[in-house]
Copies of this chain bind each other. A is one copy, B any other.
Amino acid sequence: MIGIKSIASYVPTAGIDNYAQGAKFGKDDEFILGKIGSAFLPRKDQAQETSDLCVEAVNALFAANPQLKRESIDALIVITQNGDEDGLPHTSAIVQDKLGLPTHVAAFDISLGCSGYVYGLYAIKGFMEAAGLKNGLLVTADPYSKIVDPEDRNTTMLFGDAATATWMGEDAVWQLGKAKFGTDGSGAPHLKVNDGVFFMNGRQVFNFALIKVPAHLHELLDDSGLQSADIDAFCIHQGSAAIVDAVARRFEGEPEKFVKDMLETGNTVSSSIPLLLEKHLDNGSWKRVALSGFGVGLSWGSAIIYRQ
């Protein structure tokens, strides 16, 4: 069984002071901290392509796992909706070359936004098991600085650039349990790109998250024969502090188990959940974690992962 062996990340050190940015839009520190949740928004260098962020994250993964050799990688999935080169070729092919991975790698991109990591875990596990592959890299990199208008107060205070890399393979400590997914394209207009610029209807997205996510997590627990008390932590997409708080409250379980940690990263799209897992999965105190990603599509996905 393919599971999660290790997670690493790349977060640019340069970025934007969100208090200063908030002041520009007449927002005080309380709003930035309490509603947005992020004091600092990392920004890639203009010259860095999406593939470069992927390469940094994978190199961090190799550095943290010296036993993992480049030659042993046989699967690579990049989750992005803001890839290199207008998306043709796929970013994962460029990453294969920049990393010097062997040419027997099966590489493709998955187009998903904030729900992407949850889908990606099952996509790469399933693909590897169906194709008999052994060591896969699940990479997330969706730098919204490419598409966010710095004058759009609805989006520019929210998003941060980051990338993560997850090593998927045999004999993993963390295994994938049950998952549930959903898609509602009738809500596509609420989060989309128009002529290269990102548009978000924040109220609609907030309502969507509040209506869908707590109920979806309850359904997942029911399907898994579990209760909220069986879950050590809820690592949901860090859309904003307000969204995480509202989902935690509406869930009516143990709100303190909902991890909120975006102070120095902002909303990093498909990287937000693996950034949380990278920090906490190895600390030994968590045995079972619930994930939920939600956003562009509209699309949502929730899953249970557990320590073997």
Contact = CB atoms under 8 A, between A and B. Distances in A.
Interface of A: 76, 81-83, 85-98, 101, 103-113, 116, 119, 122-123, 125-132, 147, 176, 178-186, 188, 191-193, 196, 198, 296-299, 301
9 closest cross-chain pairs (CB), A and B: A126-B126, A97-B185, A106-B181, A126-B130, A109-B111, A93-B185, A93-B297, A107-B183, A126-B127
Nearest to A298: B93
A37 to B, nearest CB: 23
A96 B192 contact: no
Given A89-B113, A123-B123, A299 B107 contact: yes
A35 to B, nearest CB: 24
Given A83-B111, A105-B183, A126-B126, 13 more contacts: A81-B88, A86-B193, A87-B87, A90-B112, A90-B113, A96-B184, A97-B188, A101-B183, A107-B185, A108-B112, A108-B116, A126-B127, A126-B129
Given A86-B193, A93-B297, A181 B131 contact: yes
Contact of A119 (B81, B82, B108): B108
Contact of A184 (B83, B103, B109): B103
B122 A127 contact: yes
A196 B83 CA distance: 14
B105 A182 contact: yes
How many copies make up the complex? Answer: 2
B88 A185 contact: no
Contact of A128 (B87, B126, B132, B301): B126
Given A108-B119, A186-B97, A88 B128 contact: no
Contacts of A131: 122, 126, 179, 181
Contact of A123 (B126, B182, B198): B126
A129 B127 contact: no
Given A109-B110, A130-B126, A89 B192 contact: yes
Given A126-B126, A298-B93, A88 B192 contact: yes
B299 A103 contact: no
Given A188-B94, A297-B107, A299-B93, A183 B76 contact: yes
A90 B126 CA distance: 21
Contacts of A86: 193, 196
Contact of A92 (B89, B109, B183, B196): B183
